[in-house]
Each structure stands twice: as C-alpha cells, then as structure tokens.
Amino acid sequence: MLESVKDFLYWAESLFNKKLVYFGHGFDNAWDEALALVIFVKGVNWDVDESFLTETLNDAEQQQLFDLVQQRVEKRMPIAYLVGEAWFLGLPFSVNREVLIPRSPIAELIDDGFSLWFKGRSPQNILDLCAGSACIGVCCALTFSGAKVDSSDISASALQLAKKNRTTYELEDRLELIQSDLFQNLAGRSYDLIVANPPYVDQVDMDNLPPEYTHEPSMALAAGDDGLDFVKLILAQANDYLNDEGVIIVEVGNSQEAMIAQFPSVPFLWLEFAQGGHGVFALTAQQLKECRKLFVS
C-alpha cells in the first residue's frame, strides 16, 4: 500500500529505474521525477519541509499518482508534460506538448548577463528567435530590466503558451510575441543580441531519439540530414537584424561537428558550460559580416 508520500517516492523511484525511463527533460534521476509528481498532486511548493514525506495520500491522490506513473513508464511521457511545468534558470514555466521542454544551456549565459559581450553596457533590444515557451526571452527580459525583447516562433500554438508565460512574469509591456518564419516578419527591427535555439537535430539522431523525445513537437527538433537547415538560414540573414556592435548566440547541440566541418574558416566561439551542455556558439556582427556569404545558398 502506498499510504504516505515516502511510500510513493520509494515505489516510483524503483519502478522508474527498473523500467529504464530516460532522464533528459530537466531531471537526472528517478527520485526527483517521483518527487515532481507527488508535489504536483499534493499541490505544494518545491520548498516544502521534510514533514511532507510522512503525509498521507488519500484514495484520489493514490489513483492520480498511479495514472501519472503509468503514463511516464508506459507512454514514456516526460514529467514536465505530465505536470505542465518545467524549470529554467530556477524559474517555473508552463509547458505543454506544443513546445519543447526548456533545457538549453543558454540559461547559464543569461544568468551571467552575457558578460563576455556586454561588460559595462546592456543590450537594449533582444531577439529570442525560435522561442517555443519563451523561456529564453522571459529570462532575458528579467535579467535586463531596461531591454525590449521580441520572442518569435513559427508556431501559433507555441506562441499561445509563450503568452501564458509572459503573463506569469508580467512582461506584457516589454516582451513582444511575433509569429514569424525565422526573420520573415521581423523586417525593420534590429537587435543588440540575438539568441536562437532553433531545431538542430540531424537525421541520425532523430532516428535514435529515446521515446521521451517523440512527445515533443518534431518541428522543434528536426533540421534535415546534417541538422543545419535552420542555422544556415539564420546566419545568412542575421546581419540584416543585428546592430553593428551586436552579437548572435546560437545553439546547435550535436550538430557542432557538422558546423565546424562545413565552415572551417568561420571564427565560431564555442562556449563552455559549468553546468553541462555543449554546441552553443557566438559570432559578433562584425565577424558574421565577413563570412555571411558562406551561408547564403
């Protein structure tokens, strides 16, 4: 019988480990995934004290937890979609299956205020390209309180969710949501900082994704044979939207290798992350100006 929170945690932890669920969406262990479920069902906050472990579970709570565990184990549904929430830079974001579950290492750069490029000055205009839940745009707006941020995405349903997150953080006056196929509807705008986490998964990786990832929108992941379909388009056009002293930061994940192989002369600055993650580069507007023609097909 799963009478207490603790009983549930031990049971769910051992089941998640036995069934080899894949941890790639915010949690890296079974205990934390189980904890997220019981915190959701009990409607408490993450900073709940230890006495929570001995709280009892009523019949309805037990049933709800069984159902959620079943979806996690049998359908391989990520916890974030089950509870409708994911954490990014220490903040909760609403998520649903219309958006990628936030996990970009770019969070670390935001936390650091992009200090490599913005020492003694702050970006005034920021573009969060391929925004999904707008986790990056929201965190940029919260970090740079004087900045105007545009979060754009091609998906209307992703933008609907982004709107919810914008409301949560009361950013209606500084964060604009724009439906756009890359730069298509951004004519006339210019930015000090463009941050893009576009789709970048190559075909081999797409074919071998753990089942958890198949619940995410494939339009948020798939980017052609070499994973570079979107990043090449972005780099071919970005100069038209970057101020002279601006910088563009793009995540390409495992497609870093293909990027280096195809563009050996481009001075990408590949960034390092203390908390894990890879495949994020920066180019200044000046650097991009000199090599942009390489990306124009």
Instruction: Name the site residues for ligand SAM (rule: CB under 6 A).
Output: 99-100, 102, 104, 130-133, 135-136, 153-155, 158, 181-182, 197-199, 219-220
C-beta neighbour count of 117 within 10 angstroms: 18
Alpha carbons within 13 angstroms on the beta-carbon side of residue 116 total 15
Q: Between 9 and 234, whose beta carbon lies closer to ligand SAM?
A: 234
Closest chain position to ligand SAM (CB): 132
- Amino acid making up residue 16: F
- Amino acid making up residue 129: L
Instruction: Provide, rounded to whole angstroms, the least separation between the CB of residue 241 and ligand SAM.
Output: 13
Q: How far apart are the first and last CA of the chain?
A: 63
- Amino acid making up residue 212: E
Q: Between 209 and 219, whose beta carbon lies closer to ligand SAM?
A: 219
Instruction: Provide, rounded to whole angstroms, the least separation between the CB of residue 38 and ligand SAM.
Output: 26
Q: Would you say 177 and 152 are in contact if contact means Cβ atoms under 8 Å apart?
A: yes
Q: Between 150 and 192, whose beta carbon lies closer to ligand SAM?
A: 150
Q: Between 61 and 251, whose beta carbon lies closer to ligand SAM?
A: 251
Instruction: Provide, rounded to whole angstroms, the least separation between the CB of residue 133 and ligand SAM.
Output: 6
Q: Which of 175, 179, 180, 97 lies closest to 136, judged by CA?
A: 175
Q: Between 94 and 104, whose beta carbon lies closer to ligand SAM?
A: 104
What's the rounded Cα separation, in Å, for the pair 163 and 182? 19
Instruction: Provide, rounded to whole angstroms, the least separation between the CB of residue 136 and ligand SAM.
Output: 5
* Lookup result for tokens 């994020």: 280
